[in-house]
Homo-oligomer: A and B are copies of this chain.
Amino acid sequence: MDRSARAEAGEDDKADGRAAVLEAAARAFMQDGYAATSIDDVAGLLGATKGRVYYYYRSKADLFFDVHRESMRQNMEGAGRIALEDAPALDRLERMVRAHALLMMTHLPFQRVSVLGVEMHLAGSTTPRQRKTLNEIVDLRDAYERRFVDVISQGIADGAIRPLDVKMVVRGLLGALNWITVWYRPRAGETDANRERMADELTTYLINGLRRDEA
């Protein structure tokens, strides 16, 4: 094993350690909410103790921020990037909506935590460094929402979508989709086809409300 391979493996192992803690945190926060979750709870999900958590993260807030960042990354890569492809606007939008719906289900812990509260923790006692991180996360969310705004605007321009208040419709659209994290819980033996059926049903409804009436 040469030096670079070793270095890479070492970084992967370290990343895996962090990722395991992060995943446990996401699950714990999803169950009980941020404030009601103790670091001991997070460690408990790993069969470990506080030491392991604090080895990778400096504070509970940092853990929380990283869950958010990861969920935003998932959204951008899974759905946001579709906005930049080369296809009719309405087609892109439909695939974005479907992809977002599926993301809510397949990455439920991260998405659920992300949905239930960023701005809540702007008020609390945060250090300047944490405040900066928080602003970055808000920016990520805004950038993601803008992808939807842009695509819908393009759809209006090319006549596929009826004229409407784009910002308001995006809020409704993403609200309906994010709400999945409230009611969806994976059942035993849940299949991909099952999730796709639900995503399709919602997508059809939400896209249908945008179409120009064909008269």
Contact = CB atoms under 8 A, between A and B. Distances in A.
A9 interface: no
A103 to B, nearest CB: 15
Contacts of A168: 198, 201-202, 205
A210 B173 CA distance: 14
A174 interface: yes
Interface residues of A, number: 39
Given A178-B179, A209-B209, A172 B120 contact: no
B31 A201 contact: no
B124 A36 contact: yes
Nearest to A162: B208
The dominant DSSP class at the A interface is: helix
A204 B208 CA distance: 12
A210 B207 CA distance: 11
B174 A179 contact: yes
A31 B164 contact: no
A172 B70 CA distance: 25
A175 interface: yes
A169 B32 contact: no
A88 B113 CA distance: 40
Nearest to A118: B182
Contacts of A178: 175, 179
A55 B204 CA distance: 52
A202 B210 CA distance: 11
Closest 6 CB pairs of A and B: A175-B179, A209-B209, A35-B35, A172-B176, A176-B176, A35-B36
